[in-house]
Amino acid sequence: MKKILVSGGAGFLGSHLCDQLVAEGNQVTCLDNFFSGSKENISHLLSHPNFELLVQDVSFPLSIEVDEIYNLACPASPQLYQQFPIETFKTSILGSLNLLELAKTTGARIFQASTSEVYGDPQLHPQPESYFGNVNPIGPRACYDEGKRGAETLFFDYHRQHQVDIKVMRIFNTYGPRMSAKDGRVVSNFILQALQGKGLSVIGDGTQTRSFCYVDDTIQAMRLLMDSSMEITGPVNVGNPTECTILELASLILDLTGSKSTLSFLPAAADDPLRRQPNISMAVRDLHWSPQIQLQEGLLKTIAYFDSYLSKNTG
């Protein structure tokens, strides 16, 4: 049994990770202040003897005995982080500093959930880990993009200066059950709008692309990276390399839900990437990982989740 801290453990990805770690027999402490996470995501774990909830902001120091640390704390919704840019930046930078200090003190291995947003609006396709990106450092998305880039800097500096055992993963668009219904992400938006018979809100002309990876595949990659040899520090891209336009996603969701909703086009967002596709050759080589769940299968599971969500929260 390992003592494992999951910062942001009540979030979308964090709660699924907590499920996996508890199921493996570990002692798991979930650190969350519910700024973007939800207690409902972990309610089924609260009575488990191997699970503990610590309600605290990661931007404040903490002291706890741990063997491993997963840092997933940070709002990932553009809608939320643009509303609270300073809080988002503090979470990335101060949160990383605090957890890296904890890792240095305890000798714990530490994982950073970085993001494809470190590549900005990329000029290279698909994006390999060696690409430095094309990021606007003063734009409305910079609090998240540059916060995550700064966190990566801290992780590698602690590794070089203090020999902290680090793992850094750049996560591309992930979707699945427990996505927040209010975070404005395209998959959750489209599914909820389709199920409610509302127009699907397409930002821009819909020709921009994303690569959608189901949550179970992403969690498996996290576990593989964390358990890999010390020499594999990352950053490692994790995502589905199949590129999909927003219009193609909308069409598929309409088909799978049987919805008669139409498309509603909205102005393009500032600094919104036009293309997003990961090069996952490093994950395939070093982790022996590739996504297994196809988009249609994953969307059906996500649609079922949101259909149940609407039944409980409407009417």
Active-site residue identified among 70, 81, 119, 144? 144
Q: Can you spell out the DSSP letters for 191-218?
A: HHHHHTTPPEEEETTS--EE--EEHHHH
Contact 111, 70 (CB under 8 A): yes
Name which of 183, 156, 136, 149 is nearest 12 in CA terms: 183
d(CA 219, CA 30): 16
Supply φ then ψ for residue 240, to 5 degrees.
-95, 120
CA distances from 208 to 81, 112, 138, 186 (A): 21, 28, 22, 12
Contact 89, 137 (CB under 8 A): no
**3-state class of 19 per DSSP?**
helix
Concerning whether 144 is annotated as a catalytic residue, the answer is: yes
**Which residues are known to be catalytic?**
144
